[in-house]
Structure formats: structure tokens, C-alpha cells
Structure 1
Amino acid sequence: MDGWHDAADRFGVPRTDAVLLALNLYGLQTRLGARVRLQVSVPVGAQARTIVIAAGRPDSPFTLADSGQLFAGAELVGAAVRTDVDDAVSGYLRCWDGTAWRAATINPASRSKCTGCAPCPTSLEPTADPRLDTEDELHLLLDGLRQQLPHGGSLRDLHEITVSTACYESEDAALEAMMVLRKVLRSRRIDARIVLLSSVVRSREAFRWLAEHVGPFGLFLTADCVTRRNLILKKTKADLLPELMPALLADAREAGLDTSFTYIVGLDSTKDMEPFLSAMLPQVTLFPSLQVFQAHTPVMDGLHTPEADEFSYFLNARRIVESVMVDAANNLVPEPWRCYRSLWYESYAGQPLEGPRR
């Protein structure tokens, strides 16, 4: 822990952020399944937040006692108020603001069937997410979400519904699925923005069609990495060249869509990561999902860039993003609820982060 704290102090990062970043990076030594979802307070007594991490990692310094106490070595650093297996389900609620759930994530294309991207832990998760294509099936999915609501809650409270699966194999298939989803939402008078995580929706015609027929709509381009794309990613992602991605987001913005992207910090060297982020970040209207690379197996351990052996690599990635966003005069900040594997927790660019954390 002294090493994390020293690095955090050098980069001007709160020590709480360093502990949570390390927990995401190294996972738990405790055997709780391949992957677990925690509501955790760091330090003990702090407001709880949701993170999703690897478990059963023998080289991790973190252990979780039966009491819920979280230790780094022998030092008590936090407490888990809830622990769940992170299974692949059809949908769940997010962004609790103290009065209502404001977002949901759904997986109508059966995320557990999506394979091919080496850094993704989906194939390790227990599955309970059948493919849901028809209007009737989507209504059943939304009925399931409604049952998760607190008393007096409504799905009309939702501001955003994210479709997180990357299982649409073509642009046309993705467009058709988005149209069916919007039709179902309109029938229930749910006006939430639909956000799609995808790399197959690429054409200007598709962006204009989505703005006209499905909006409000946001595209999170699943960029994920710059180098070794043919080795690491499935074909429908790998065949999109990184140098084309900034213009793609610019086209989507021009069509009237919200734009962002996903990227896994830990796969690329700094010299490859920095120019890519510098080109992408000015094109976003929603803060990107910049995820800490998590190794769940020895095979996945071999995917990271050698630079990621150093904790300071991740703190430097924070600094790069903050610098680019300032230069782009972009006032966006990370939304703590949106990314469970984040680089940021308590602060961003020296300022405290506010808002929902789960």
C-alpha cells in the first residue's frame, strides 16, 4: 500500500482513489467466484459505491473477511456492504440518486453468447440472459426491471437505457433492434435516451436514421484498444481501424447523436494510448468509459502492456485524459455510476466527484 500511496501523492491523486483503483486492478484474493460485484465503502464509513472485480486471484493483496471487512495485506481499508456474483443477466437498474433509479442496462442480444474479445470476462460469468428479439420479449424484460423498483418507483423515471451487448453482427441488425426497443419504450411512455455500445454502427446514413427514428440516442463506440486488435478483439470490432474512429464520432455528433467510447486502460503502451485518446476525447458529448484492465485468468494476465506492471501507468492515464479534456475546453467529468472499473472515484482534475455511485 505504501507504493500506491507514494504514487498517488506524486500524481496529486487522493489515496482513496489509489486504493479503489488498485482493488479494480488486482482484484480479490478471496475465492468468491471468477467475478464479483461489490457495494464497498473505502474507507470504512464512506458512501458505498459499486465496483466489479476479479476474485480468487492468488497474487492480490486484497482479502474480504466473512464480516465484510476489506483488507490490503493486514491493513483495514474498507468494508463491503453487499457482495454478489456478477452474472450475465438481461437487465438491471443503475444510477440511484437517492429518490429514484435514473438508468438501466439491458442485454437483449444475450451478452453471454458474445465471445471473441480476449479481455472480456463475459464467458466466465454465470448466465441468465436469453436472447430477446421481439416486442413481447422486450416487454417481459422491462416488466422484470419494474419488479426491481422500490415502492412508488416507475420506469418513466429512467433518463437512460443502455444496450450493453456487442452481439449485433451487422449495422442493419443493430438498427432494427434499436427501432424495436424504441417502439416498445414509446408504448410504455418511457422517453429515456437509448445508448448503444457497439462498433458495427458506422455509416452517416445510420446515424441520421437513428437520430430521426430512435432518438434521443447515444453511441458508445467500443474502441477498447489501439494495438493488437486482430489478436485481442472479435472481427466485428477489429476491422474498424483506430485512425477512423474520431471521424466516425464526429459524424455521429453532426447527425445529432450523443457520442462517447469505451477503452480498456492497460492493453496499450502510453505512446499508443496518448495520441489515440487525444484524437477521440474532443469528439465526445458523454464522458467515455475508460476501464481498468482486469485479468481474471493467467491467460488474460499476458494481454496487458508491460507498462501496466507499474501502478503509476494508470495514474498517468488519468493525467493524460484530464489534460486533453481541459485543452478541448470540455466540461464533462466522470459519472461515478456509469463505469464500475474506473480510473476515477473521489476526484477528477483536482475537484471532488459528485453524483450517484451505483
Structure 2
Amino acid sequence: MLRDLSHLEEVASAWKVNAEDVLLIALNSSGARSSLTRPRMRFKLRLDSRPSDPLFLILSLGRDNSPFELDEHELRLGGQRVGHVEGIEDDDAVLGYWRNGRKMLTLNSNARSQCTGCVFCPNTLEDASDPRLRTPDLNAYFAALTTDFGMQDLSAVDTVTVCTGCFLYEHLAVEHLADVRAAMTDYGCTGTLHFLSSVLTTDGGLDQAAELGPFHLTMTAECFTNRPSVLKESKARLAPDAMVAILAAAMNRGITTDFTYIVGLDTPAEAAEELAKFIPATSTFPRFQTFQAHNPFMDVYRAPGSDTIEWHLDMRRRVERLFVDTPMRPQWWQNYRSPWCFTFAGEELAGPRI
């Protein structure tokens, strides 16, 4: 992927991409060698080239063939330090966590750790503290949250995201989302209710979701080829055209729309052809996530050539061409595996990265 700092500079210059973004793409794709014993760790990283602009990462460890090495204090590429590490901790499945300061609250409120369907997902590697929550539990959790962080209520929270793959049926998802909205209202939050899932698909379900508004649906598309082998059944049965139709129907109801996509499972040409169909039904920048293989089994599912940095930069360029004429732009705080952190198509990206 990358050999050392000189190779990094060569690649960045050849592709006209800032070196930090090239480094982060390679790091997310390669993982790191480490003496730490957990399979995944989350931490704050201050790159030596941008020490005043900290960012957050969640990284697979134990990758013995990676050019990157991580310990409790620093990140190295080819034996040379490239950044300072802070606040390293096990990436277990927790009940909730903040993004964008305290403006976005992510809830794993339906036991996300129990979902083990997709081959690229690290849930099977994680410890868990994310039980299913019902209305009384949600209110108790919000009460504890406001107390722990010295908040009077949740009125300053812009978005509450329900991030889980454990709903077997649409009606169960809608019932839970209604519970979350009710608890949000009880704690003064009028912000967006955001749902990442592939189970919200029918006109009736979308109608109910719209009534919980403001509502944001992120369709978990993930990939376009080899779907039955890569995805759990509830995702695999949705063809790309069907997902586009669902997103368009959601948009027509005033719902904010986007999708998740794992970079590294399809060829760039196949990906670009299908992604172009999604743009008219997408109202905010999708969550493009660099594929993180946590073990040799997961490596089997990589698209041919995706173990090289050039493959990833080609894919990045193709996606930029699709979105450059739209107002949609990526934000690192929304997605710590993004192919874009500091620039997009040559434009500087502003905003928080934690």
C-alpha cells in the first residue's frame, strides 16, 4: 500500500492529493501492526503535519503485513513517526456516543452487537454494552446522559442517530424509532432522527417515518456485486435499483436521504456505474467507508487491486467526478473511514473531525 514517507510523498504528488488524505486512506485500508491485544481500537490522532487539527479513527489492529505500526503514543509508517496518538481505547459496542462535539448522538439502542450478518462488519470481534432499549430505558439513558455531561436537556443536540442492523422487520424498526422520538421530545430535542438500515422499504413504513420528522434515512447499500455472499439476507435481497426507488420515495416525503457504501468490494468501474444512479435520490453526501479487513478471511472479499493505494485514489477520483457539481461534500466527523478528510476534488474541507 505505502512503503514509507518518501513513497507517500511520491504518490501524493503524482495524484495531486494532499499527503494526509493519502496516508489516512492507506491506514484505514491496511490497518496497523500493534502490541495492543484488541482487534479494533478507537483513538484521537494528531498528524505531525497538522498537529493543530486532531481527528478521530477506529482502526483494525493485528495486521502483521501492514506498513503502519501503532502503540499507545504514536503512529509510524515504515518505522517513521507520522502522528501522536491520544485516548486509545477498545472499540467495543457501546450504547451511545457523541460525534461533532455533542451535536450528534449515536445510539446502538437495539443491540447492534448482536447483528453478525455481513462479512465486512467487525461486530463479531467486539465486546458489547448495548442492550435493547424501550421507552422507559431510553428516558433513563437520556437522564443519565444529561447528568453525566452537565446538560439541562438535549435541546442543543442536532441529530440522534439509531445505528443498528438488528431489526428483523420494518414494523419493529418503526416502533423503536417512535420510542426514540418520544424520548427525544421528553428531553427537549427537536432535531433530526437519523436511521441507518435496510429494513425501511415500504410506502407505509416511509409514511410513518416521515411523521416522526425531521427524519433522515441512510440506506445501507454497502456494495453492488457479490451481494448474496457479502451481505446478510435482508440487505442482499435489495437490488441497487430497488434501493434507488426507496430513497426517491423517501425524498418525495421530505425525508433526508443518503446511503452507506464500502469502498473496496466492487471494482471502480462497476461502482461508478451504479453510484451514478443514486445521486438523484440522495440529498446529503453518502457515507463512503474504506473497507477494513480485520483478518485474512475478510481479505478474500477485497476487489482485485484494492490492496494498492493507486486503486483507492482512482476510486476516490471517480466518486469526486460524480459529486463535484453538487453541493454535497463529505465530513470526517460523520465517517471515520472516509476517503476524504482534508480535501475533496482539490477543495479544502472545513468543519470538525471528531
Instruction: Name the TM-score, length of structure 2 as normaliser.
Output: 0.94
User: Do structure 1's residue 49 and structure 2's residue 71 form an aligned pair?
Assistant: no
Q: Does 1:347 align with 2:331?
A: no
Distance 1:116 1:281 in 2: 27
Aligned to 1:181: 180
Structure 1: unaligned runs, 5 residues or longer: none
Counterpart secondary structure, 1:271: helix
Alignment partner, residue 234 of structure 2: 236
Q: Secondary structure at 2:138's aligned position in 1?
A: helix
Q: Quick one: structure 1 residues 173 and 57, their matched pair in 2 at CA, closer, same or farther if it must change by over 3 Å?
A: same
CA distance in 2, matches of 1:153, 1:64: 39
| Distance (Å, rounded) in 1 between the aligned partners of 2:274 and 2:12 | 24
2:18 is matched with which residue?
Answer: 14
Q: Which residue of 1 aligns with 2:331?
A: 335
Q: Give the stretch that moved more between structures: 139-148 or 348-357.
A: 139-148
Give CA deviations for 1:14-38 in whole Å, capped at 9, x if unaligned.
0011111111111120132100101
1:260 is paired with a residue of what secondary structure?
strand
Residue 226 of structure 1 aligns with which residue? 224
Pairing of 1:263-282 with structure 2 (within 5 A) = 263-282=261-280
Amino acid corresponding to residue 340 of structure 2 in structure 1: W
1:137 partnered with 2:137: yes
Q: Name the counterpart of 1:197.
A: 196
Letter matched to residue 85 of structure 1 = D
| Displacement after TM superposition at 1:295 (Å) | 0.6
2:96 corresponds to 1:91: yes
Residue identity opposite 1:115 in structure 2: T
Distance 1:286 1:232, change over 3 A: same
- Look up the SS of the partner of 1:155 in the other structure: coil
Q: Distance in 1 between matches of 2:152 and 2:14?
A: 45
Correspondence 1:74 to 2:70? no
**Matching residue of 1:109:** 110
Q: Mapping of 1:201-216 within 5 angstroms?
A: 201-212=200-211, 214-216=212-214
**Shift, 1:305, TM fit:** 0.7
CA distance in 1, matches of 2:153, 2:86: 26
Q: Contact 1:41–1:48 (CA<8 Å) still a contact in 2?
A: yes
Give % identity. Answer: 35
Q: In the aligned structure 1, how far is the partner of 2:108 from the partner of 2:294?
A: 22
Kept in 2, the 8 Å contact 1:295–1:301? The answer is yes
CA separation in 1, counterparts of 2:156 and 2:83? Answer: 32
Q: What whole-Å deviation, never above 9, does each CA across 1:291-328 have from its counterpart, x for those lacking one?
A: 000010110111111120221111122111211113xx
**Match 1:63 to one of 30, 55, 69:** 69
Q: Given the superposition, is the C-alpha separation of residues 28 and 154 from structure 1 closer, same or farther in structure 2, using an over 3 Å criterion?
A: farther
CA contact (8 A) 2:268 2:318 kept: no
Bigger drift between 107-116 and 314-323 goes to 314-323
SS, match of residue 182 in structure 2: helix
Question: What residue number does 1:31 align with?
Answer: 35
CA contact (8 A) 1:28 1:54 kept: yes
For 1:334, what is the secondary structure of its paired residue? coil
More displaced stretch, 25-34 vs 135-144? 135-144
- Corresponding letter in the other structure for 2:157: L
Deviation by residue 1:36-59 (Cα, 9 ceiling, x = unmatched): 101001125231111111011111
Residue 163 of structure 1 pairs with residue 162 of structure 2: yes
8 Å CA contact 2:305, 2:311 repeated in 1: yes
Moved more, 134-143 or 159-168: 134-143
Deviation at 1:10, TM superposition (A): 2.5
Contact (CA 8 Å) 2:198, 2:219: kept in 1 or not?
yes
Per-residue deviation at 1:147? Answer: 4.3
**Contact in 1 for aligned 2:142/2:187 (Cα 8 Å):** no
Question: What's the CA shift string for 1:247-293, capped at 9, x where partnerless?
Answer: 22111100110000000000111121111111113321121110000
Q: Which amino acid aligns with 1:138?
A: L
Residue 142 of structure 1, CA deviation: 1.9
Could you tell me which runs of 5 or more consecutive residues in structure 2 were left unpaired when the two chains were aligned: none
Matched, 1:290 2:294: no
Q: How far apart, CA to CA, are the structure 2 residues paired with 1:55 and 1:145?
A: 30
Distance in 2 (alpha carbons) for counterparts of 1:5 and 1:300: 29
Pairwise CA RMSD of aligned residues?
1.5
- Match of 2:220, SS state, is strand
Query: Does the CA-based 8 Å contact 1:204-1:255 persist in structure 2?
Result: no
Q: Is this contact kept in 2: 1:93–1:148, CA < 8 A?
A: no
Structure 1: distance between partners of 2:117 and 2:192: 29
Q: Say if 2:35 and 2:71, in contact at 8 Å, map to a contact too.
A: no
